[in-house]
Amino acid sequence: MSSVNKKEIEKFSKMATEWWDPNGKFKPLHKFNPIRIKYIKENIISNFNLKNKEKPLNKIEILDIGCGGGLLSEPMCRMGASVTGIDASLTNIKVAQLHAKTNKLNIKYFASPPENLKIKKKFDVILNMEIVEHVEDINFFLESCSKLLKKNGLMFVATLNKTLKSYIFAIVGAEYIMRWLPIGTHEWEKFVKPVDLERILKKNNLRLIKLDGMNFNILSDEWSISRDTSVNYITKFKKN
């Protein structure tokens, strides 16, 4: 079996040179990134009772799955975490490796889906951010991810809810009207309801700890955490 959707990999590989352009095709992710980083950081610190103020994620081993060009891997590394980033697109990995090298960051990058990762160790934290809606088989993908997580480790999953509102906002609005994303970036059929995500991960010994919405304020041009999970949402799971 494979979690890789070749059509999705080709789509993102074609845009790979724009990963680090804040005004390019990944502009929405650059807007998105600060709130994602803050959420992950705060939840890791509270879970592992970390005290290092200079390097708040010091010695935490993080696996960033579907890392793209490294937009999350790099800030995690800067905060002291030991980071491994994987992506099924070799083109994405080459961009990530070059950017990390240029910025003198020690991040291990591999072109691999989780089921093929040739690493024996397990991780304290796994990041599945905006990736589950792009995989071929979400059940197999999350099962493969869970095997890479330590007992009592955390898995963060951020994705899009499968609602009428998410179709209107994330596809019609973001792709066709506002042109924030290239047309065809998302397929509504692949969006995931929180209850379905919880059900899949429960089968893999992960317990839902936190579920929050992520909303964009068009006036302030900023993302924030909210109670509204009808479009974008982020979750924290803990492995039993």
Domains of the chain: 6-239 (3.40.50.150)
Average pLDDT, the chain: 96
| pLDDT tens, position by position, 76-113 | 999 999 999 999 999 999 999 999 999 999 999 999 99
pLDDT at 47: 97
Confidence class for position 52, pLDDT limits 50, 70, 90: very high
| pLDDT tens, position by position, 122-155 | 999 999 999 999 999 999 999 999 999 999 999 9
Percent of the chain with pLDDT over 90: 90
Q: What is the dihedral of CA 194, 195, 201, 202, to 10 degrees?
A: 150
Weakest-pLDDT range from 21-30, 154-163, 198-207: 21-30
**Residue type at 85?**
G
pLDDT at 178: 77
Assess whether pLDDT exceeds 90 at residue 60. yes
| pLDDT tens, position by position, 171-222 | 998 888 878 788 888 899 999 999 999 999 999 999 999 999 999 998 898 9
pLDDT at 157: 98
Which one, of 56, 96, 90, 91, lies nearest residue 76 by Cα?
A: 56
Query: Exposed (0-12), middle (13-18) or buried (19+): which is 189, by Cβ within 10 Å?
Result: exposed
Whether the pTM exceeds 0.75: the reply is: yes
HEC assignment per residue over the chain: CCCCCHHHHHHHHHCHHHCCCCCCCCHHHHHHHHHHHHHHHHHHHHHHCCCCCCCCCCCCEEEEECCCCCCCHHHHHHCCCEEEEEECCHHHHHHHHHHHHHCCCCCEEEECCHHHCCCCCCEEEEEEECCHHHCCCHHHHHHHHHCCEEEEEEEEEEEECCCHHHHHHHHHHHHHHCCCCCCCCCCHHHCCCHHHHHHHHHCCCEEEEEEEEEEEECCCCEEEEECCCCCEEEEEEEEC
Please, which residues have CB within 8 angstroms of residue 120's CB and are 6 or more apart in sequence? none
Assess contact for 74 and 107: CB atoms under 8 A.
yes
pLDDT at 42: 98
